[in-house]
Structure 1
Amino acid sequence: MSTARTRTLRGLRLLTRRLAPLALVLAVAAVVVPDSAVKSTEVSLVKVNRASGVDLSPDVVWILAVGSDARPGQDMTRSRGDALQLIGLNTKTGAAAAIGVPRDSWVSIPGHGNEKINASLYFGGPQLLGQTVGNLVGIQPDYVFVTRFPYFIAMVRQIGGIDVANPRAFSDTYLKPQGFKSGRIHLNGYDAMAFARIRHDLPRGDFDRSANQQRVLRGIQARVRAQASVPGFMERGVVSVMQHMHTDLGPAELFRLAQAMAQVDPSKITSCVVQGGIGNIGGASVVLPYTSQARMLGNEARKDATLEHC
């Protein structure tokens, strides 16, 4: 084999390993997505056009992970969103923070009046959703990551399932009749989706569901980290994701995100859920978010991606 070809192959292997943390972890970052058809584009990573002068730490990258409830034939980036998790990654310390936002939160959507926060994806795509969540929390994301339900299941299956610490037993007549027991449990692809999607049997509904989504994220991160050294694991993951992902990011930005993901320290992951009251507007049940608490979480995590109070 020629020296030039050898260098090329080594370069490709190095690039694959560098992109793998981004590809595998981000590909499953959007946790619960209602049923939809499998299409060639299963994941989308979009850079948010933020106003200049926004006060963000250069060491922290913020990604809004969201599922799309797109039905067959629908654009997943212009349907109602689900599983909203604003994730901060500190490239300097390895810390990571996840701020969960209930999908039924009643907020002001720029240009569209008051509506459930997940409607902003339908009204204006990832850009408007990022702006709306940013207005609530006080942190405008750098990127918005959108995925579909079938691909999430396939990705969790591909990494061999995940383990989560379940604080309470619960079930759902349609998604999981036999339910989930409390304690440390293993979830396959379908069970991970169901665990993160169920809310009706949970004491605090959407709030507990958002917390369960964060438990799934922790399980995914731990599984990927544990298998990162297995020969071929990262390569298969990055190839799978790249085959299904649409993005407007260049190689340099993808590499920056890959670095941020690779540096996450499991012991430095913190998470909170934006709380609120339950209301009824126009006959629909909504969450009336505590905006002061949402801003407190944003202020606390903005500089270093660390949360100390929920």
Structure 2
Amino acid sequence: MTGRRLTRTLRAGLLALVLGVVALAVPDSAVRPAEVSLVDVSTAEGVDLGDDVIWILAVGSDARPGQLMTRSRGDAIQMVGINTRTGAASAIGVPRDSWVPIPGYGSNRVNAGLYFGGPSLMARTVGNLVGVQPDYVFVTRFPFFENMVNSIGGIYVDNPRRFSDPYLKPEGFKAGRIKLDGYGAMAFSRIRKGLAGGDFDRSANQQRTLRGIQSRIRGRADEPGFIERGVLTVMRNTQTNLSPARLFELAQAVAQVKPSKIRSCVVDGRIGTVGGASIVFPDVSQARRYGNAARSDATLGPC
């Protein structure tokens, strides 16, 4: 075991002890409404990818106040692969209106997988489309997402074109490199109607937001207590079956991703209708091609 890995292991063990004590000492953390769900679904059937590659399905829930976050329709859907050995990462974006088979429920929009069966069914639904079953499903409400972005000091994204929305962002986002606070990151990720490519461009913007978050986390990861505070915040607001030590390891994996080794693609498709409703018929062969390319090493080629 290398000195760096040994240090991380000892730090994770100490973190588990400290957070365990804190969790017992702060009882209100157990009764707060969950703003995040992080579920280990690695027992699902799929190819054993080894210890180097972690796959996380990230979903933004559109749950309204009073609705169960993990049984509402998903909004932002990104399959993220991280190679903990090389620092490479890939994001495969799936438009929320993609019409796909949902195990046990016929065909529907892909985001209905969360509504029908929670994180585990959402994992199977997206995993079947891409050809890679995720190890974890990360679901968050957008208010928590906004607070998280604010807590890390905002993010920077490279916006290819100006766009706006009369409700979420009337003044719009200018083209170029821009800084976003929590609300701005939420709006940047959710706006669709002001984009020429609609749902496809929105998914690409979600990937730009993820890049911005990862870059900020990586830039601050060595600050004393930064990762630990983040894990503690997640613990206080999360429904999870992961241990504190495992949460820390995942946070470290995200922090160690190298920006130059991040690739992202959005599954293409054609616009159609089912029952009078507008949907996307995804390019399944393309989705599988992305999954096959990134499965073993979290590395994507050209989109």
TM norm structure 1? 0.85
SS at match of 1:44: strand
Q: 1:178 matched to which residue of 2?
A: 171
Closer, same or farther: CA 256–13 of 1 in aligned 2, 3 Å: closer
How many angstroms does 1:92 deviate by? 1.2
1:226-275 CA-partner distances (Å, limit 9, x unpaired): 22233443343222221111111234543442342232111111100000
Distance in 1 (alpha carbons) for counterparts of 2:33 and 2:290: 37
CA separation of 1:12 and 1:276: change in aligned 2, threshold 3 A: closer
Amino acid at match of 1:254: L
1:152 corresponding residue in structure 2: 145
8 Å Cα contact 1:57-1:304 kept in structure 2: no
Matched, 1:80 2:73: yes
- Structure 2 gaps of 5+ residues are 1-9, 20-31
- Per-residue Cα deviation, 1:274-300 (whole angstroms, up to 9, x for no partner): 000000111111010000000000000
The residue type equivalent to 2:115 in the other structure is: Y
Q: Which residue of 1 aligns with 2:200?
A: 207
CA distance in 2, matches of 1:13, 1:135: 35
Aligned residue runs from structure 1 range 158-237, under 5 A: 158-237=151-230
Structure 1 range deviating more: 70-79 or 291-300: 70-79
Q: Which amino acid aligns with 2:110?
A: I
Q: 1:68 aligns with which of 36, 41, 61?
A: 61
Match of 2:78, as an amino acid? Answer: Q
Q: Deviations over 1:29-71 (max 9, x none)?
A: xxxxxxxxxx621111111154456253432110000011112
* Paired letter, 2:179: H
Pair 1:258–1:95, CA change in 2 (3 A) = same
What letter matches 1:296 in structure 2? R
**CA displacement 1:87-128 (0-9 Å, x = unmatched):** 001011111110000000000111101100000100000000
Displacement of 1:158 in angstroms is 1.0
Structure 1 unaligned blocks of 5 or more: 1-9, 20-38
Per-residue deviation at 1:136? 0.3
Q: Which residue of 1 aligns with 2:134?
A: 141
1-side partners of 2:13 and 2:148: how far apart?
A: 21
Aligned pairs (5 A) from 1:298-309: 298-309=291-302
Q: Distance in 2 between matches of 1:204 and 1:72?
A: 30
Structure 2 residue matching 1:308: 3-state secondary structure: coil
Aligned-partner Cα distance in 2 for 1:177–1:301: 38
1:15 alignment counterpart = 15
Distance 2:75 2:205 in 1: 13
Is 1:296 aligned with 2:289?
yes
User: For the Cα contact (< 8 Å) 2:231–2:248, is it kept in 1?
Assistant: no
Distance in 2, Cα, partners of 1:81 & 1:127: 13
Equivalent-residue separation in structure 1 for 2:148 and 2:231 (angstroms): 11
1:283 to 1:15, Cα distance in 2 relative to 1, 3 A: same
Residues 73-112 of structure 1 mapped to structure 2, 5 A cutoff? 73-112=66-105
The amino acid of 2:60's aligned partner reads G
Q: What is the CA–CA distance in structure 2 between the aligned matches of 1:55 and 1:241, rounded to whole Å?
A: 28
Corresponding letter in the other structure for 2:35: E
Say if 1:227 and 1:241 are closer, same or farther in 2 by CA, change over 3 A: same
For the pair 1:273 / 2:266, whether they are aligned, the reply is yes
Instruction: Flag the 1:231–1:258 CA change in 2: closer, same or farther, 3 A.
Output: closer
Give the secondary-structure state (helix, strand or coil) at the position aligned to 1:127: helix
Q: What RMSD, in angstroms, separates the aligned Cα atoms of the two structures?
A: 2.1
Matches within 5 A, 1:43-58: 43-48=36-41, 50-52=43-45, 54-58=47-51
Q: Partner letter of residue 129 of structure 1?
A: M
Instruction: Check the 8 A contact 1:130/1:141 in 2, yes or no.
Output: yes
Contact 1:49–1:127 (Cα < 8 Å) also in 2:
no
Is 2:218–2:256's contact at 8 Å kept on the other side of the alignment?
no
* Identical pairs, percent: 68
Q: Sort the Cα spacing of 1:47 and 1:200 in 2 relative to 1 into closer, same or farther, 3 A.
A: same
Give the 3 Å change call, closer, same or farther, for CA 11–183 of structure 1 in structure 2. closer
Residue aligned with 1:192, SS:
helix
Q: What residue in structure 2 maps to residue 120 of structure 1?
A: 113
What secondary structure does 2:87 align onto?
A: coil
